[in-house]
Amino acid sequence: MKRLIREPLLHFFLLGALLFGLYGELNRHGFNAPNEIVVTHGQVNVLQAQFQRLWQRPPTPQELQGLVDNWVREEILYREGLAMRLDRDDPVVRRRIEQKVEFIADSALPAAPTTEELQRWLDRHPNLYRVEPSYSLRQVYFDPARHVQLGADIAAAQRALVAGRSFAKDPTLLPGTLDGSAAQVAGVFGSAFADALRSLPMDTWQGPIQSAFGLHLVQLTARRDDRPASLADVRAEVERDLVHARTQDANTAFYDKLRANYTVRIEDSRLHASRPAG
């Protein structure tokens, strides 16, 4: 027995057991048993904050208890699902994890582009950003259903407009004057009406011009042709497109870096048998 007590190997095992027991006692609150779920103070705060953002008020004690109960239920079902390996070969789970990894990649994007970078992008893609034509016009509306001799009535109105005389006009909610882009004109009168303005003579009453509502006499007082946009015209659009392009490039580079760690082997004779990473 004395010899056994003096054995160094026994001392090593006893000391190891003592240290392991002491470490477990000191850290017993830091480890969860497989069937133990710990709802931390931080988790409760998260649930409370989510509720308050949704309902614009803090939860009642009963509601907070319900939130915790639901979280525990989800955690139990999640753990059981993992234990049954239900996460394997599930396209929904695969896609969700893929999205999370992409989100991590997106969060590492560089700062917002500078004015100089935006201008360089605009200079490289001028045809993507053009200011569309715009018009200033006056119009007189004719409802075909209200006229027996529509052509004669339009001609008489045109003579009155040229002479500066008043005449009876058909009732309408359409604006008598409009100053806006081709898209704005099309939004009010229709695309055919807006297209007709491209070749309409200036400063004279012309028509009749067909719209989505009827016929019109139109006086075009200003026409501004389409032109290349300046950065001040389209800064928001340029920044959106440049950030999107940078995001795509960053995601591609991120994937390529991950892809370099893998060799893909496709066991299907219709496709490449194997392809090395890179």
Model confidence pLDDT, tens digit, residues 53-73: 889 899 998 998 888 888 888
The mean pLDDT of 255-268, rounded to a whole number, is: 74
- Looking up tokens 């719209």, which residue turns up? 211
Instruction: Write down the pLDDT at residue 23.
Output: 41
Q: Which of 223, 211, 136 is nearest to 172 (CA)?
A: 211
Residues 8-33: pLDDT tens digits?
Answer: 544 444 444 444 444 444 444 444 56
pLDDT category at 274 given cuts 50, 70, 90 is: very low
The mean pLDDT of 29-47, rounded to a whole number, is: 75
Say whether pTM exceeds 0.75.
no
Cβ atoms 112, 239 nearer than 8 A: yes
The helix-helix angle for 231-259 and 91-106 (nearest 10°) equals 120
> For all residues of the chain together, what is the average pLDDT?
80
Rounded Cα–Cα distance for residues 17 and 21 (Å): 6
Mapping DSSP to helix (H, G, I), strand (E, B) and coil, where does residue 96 land? Answer: helix
Is the Cα torsion angle 241, 247, 250, 256 positive or negative in sign? Answer: negative
Where are the chain's structural domains? 1-31, 34-88, 91-129+229-278, 133-225
Quote the distance between the C-alpha of residue 256 and its chain's center.
24
Task: State percent of the chain over pLDDT 90.
Answer: 31
Rounded Cα–Cα distance for residues 216 and 214 (Å): 7
Q: Which of 200, 217, 220 is nearest to 209 (CA)?
A: 217
* Ramachandran sector of residue 203 (left: φ over 0; alpha: ψ -120 to 50; beta: rest): left
Residues written for the chain:
278
Rounded Cα–Cα distance for residues 86 and 93 (Å): 9
pLDDT category at 193 given cuts 50, 70, 90 is: very high
- pLDDT beyond 80 at 212: yes
Q: Buried b / exposed e across 129-166, counting CB within 10 Å, b at 16+? A: beeebbbebbbbbbeeeeeeebeebbeebbeebeeeee
The mean pLDDT of 64-87, rounded to a whole number, is: 83
Structure-block tokens of residue 134: 């715009």
pLDDT category at 137 given cuts 50, 70, 90 is: very high
Rounded Cα–Cα distance for residues 209 and 185 (Å): 13
H or E, element range at 216:
strand 215-224
Cβ atoms 213, 174 nearer than 8 A: yes
For 274, half-sphere exposure in the C-beta direction (CA atoms, 13 angstrom radius) is: 5
Instruction: Identify the CATH number of the domain defined by range 133-225.
Output: 3.10.50.40
